[in-house]
Amino acid sequence: MPELPEVETVRRTLNQLIAGKTIECVTVTLPRILQKPDDPQAFAAMLEGRTFQSVERRGKFLRLVLDGVVLISHLRMEGRYGLYGKDEPVELHTHVRFSFTDGTELRYKDVRQFGTMHLFAPGDEWIAAPLNKLGLEPLDESFTLDEFTRVLARRTTKIKPLLLNQEVVVGLGNIYVDEALHAAGIHPETPASELKRKEHQKLHDAIVATLAAAVEAGGSSIKSYVNGQGEMGLFQHSLRAYGRTGEPCSECGTPIEKSVVGGRGTHVCPSCQKPPRGGGLTAVSVGAAKKRRSNAVKRRLDGVEQ
């Protein structure tokens, strides 16, 4: 699933590819992608004749700004954009096509069909779902230590599920939460409210550094993720914890362990990331708990992790 660095890479690429292009017509072959308006004809009518001005991002949402309308697009599991010539054959799972006056076409492809698109009058996108409930933007100047501390101090939730909650901090998914917690030396099951000021600082800096490095590398290519120009990201080569089960920790050499926290596969160095006092399942007890899960749940989890 694309996380913030991957979406940022798509944003940059798309901005280069489509800024300045004017839409001649829009073809929708899978109406369920459209959330607002949900009628394909109304959706097309709001876009035709408009010009893409820039592609922005809020959390994992792309914000495509046109003259007079804003398109909010979420790629979810498998959504992809690509620029094609109008006459190029349309690939399977292409659901929305924006044909431009210059003979090119922006195509949205989505094998899993979970992606969404919303249209708004400019400015209205901030006061309605899905953007109105989003939390702190970690690569923005507004993500200060004080703001982050204020958010953490009130929550008794375990830190990992809290960081995955998009209403708290946006853009962090399973990969970068494991990476940031490892870099900060914090166990994923530590209740947020038990973290000390020093740990807030470490975690804040680790989130910013991890995401910035991943953006720089063009996003991770787990699940053979490909960005808008068909280039693979390079960040998977520098992962510290995620997906490195059994491999030595880059800090201390202890093998990385995998467990389940909040239903998500979680990678931890048992030496650098000490479990919270009086709580926290050990890797062994999590393993036993996992075995008790039904096979159906197991298959679903495995599917998500692969």
Binding residues: 93, 112, 155
Smaller CB distance to Zn ion: residue 11 or 187? 187
HEC readout, 48-100: CCCEEEEEEEECCEEEEEECCEEEEEECCCCCEEEEEECCCCCCCCEEEEEEE
The DSSP output letter for 249 is P
* Number of Cβ atoms within 10 Å of the Cβ of 155: 16
Token digits of residue 59: 């959390």
CA distance 223 to 237: 14
Site string for Zn ion, 262-291 (x = CB under 5 A): -------x-xx-------------------
CB 185 to Zn ion: min, Å:
8
Q: Phi/psi of residue 84, each to 5°? A: -130, 165
Active site residue 2: yes
Specify the length of the chain in residues: 306
Least spacing, CB of residue 210 vs Zn ion, in Å: 16
- What is 1-67 written as a DSSP string? ---HHHHHHHHHHHHHHHTT-BEEEEEES-GGGEEES-SHHHHHHHHTT-BEEEEEEETTEEEEEET
State the minimum distance, in angstroms, from the CB of residue 251 to Zn ion.
4
Q: Exactly one of 2, 130, 138, 161 is catalytic; name it.
A: 2
Shorter beta-carbon distance to Zn ion: residue 113 or 254: 254
Is 179 among the catalytic positions? no
Which residues are part of a known binding site for DNA? 93, 112, 155
> Parallel, antiparallel, or unpaired for β 94-100 and 104-109?
antiparallel
Site size for Zn ion (CB under 5 A): 7
Contact positions with Zn ion (CB under 5 A) in 202-261 = 249, 251-252, 254
119 vs 272 by CB, closer to Zn ion? 272
Which letter does DSSP use for residue 264 in this model? Answer: E
Q: Which is nearer to Zn ion, 71 or 269 (CB)?
A: 269
Bridge-based pairing of strands 104-109 and 116-120 is unpaired
Residue among 11, 60, 244, 258 flagged as catalytic: 60
Shortest spacing between CB 202 and Zn ion, in angstroms: 14
> What is the closest distance, in whole angstroms, from the C-beta atom of residue 178 to Zn ion in the complex?
13
Burial of 159 from C-beta contacts in 10 A (0-12 / 13-18 / 19+): buried
Considering the complex, state which of residue 40 and residue 185 has its C-beta at the smaller distance from Zn ion: 185
Give residues with Cβ within 8 angstroms of 81, minimum separation 6: 10, 14, 106, 107, 108, 109, 228
CB 105 to Zn ion: min, Å: 49
The contacts of residue 193 (CB under 8 Å, 6+ apart) are 152, 153, 154, 155, 156
Q: Which is nearer to Zn ion, 123 or 246 (CB)?
A: 246
Catalytic residue IDs:
2-3, 60, 264
Query: Where on the chain is the footprint of Zn ion (CB under 5 A)?
Result: 249, 251-252, 254, 269, 271-272
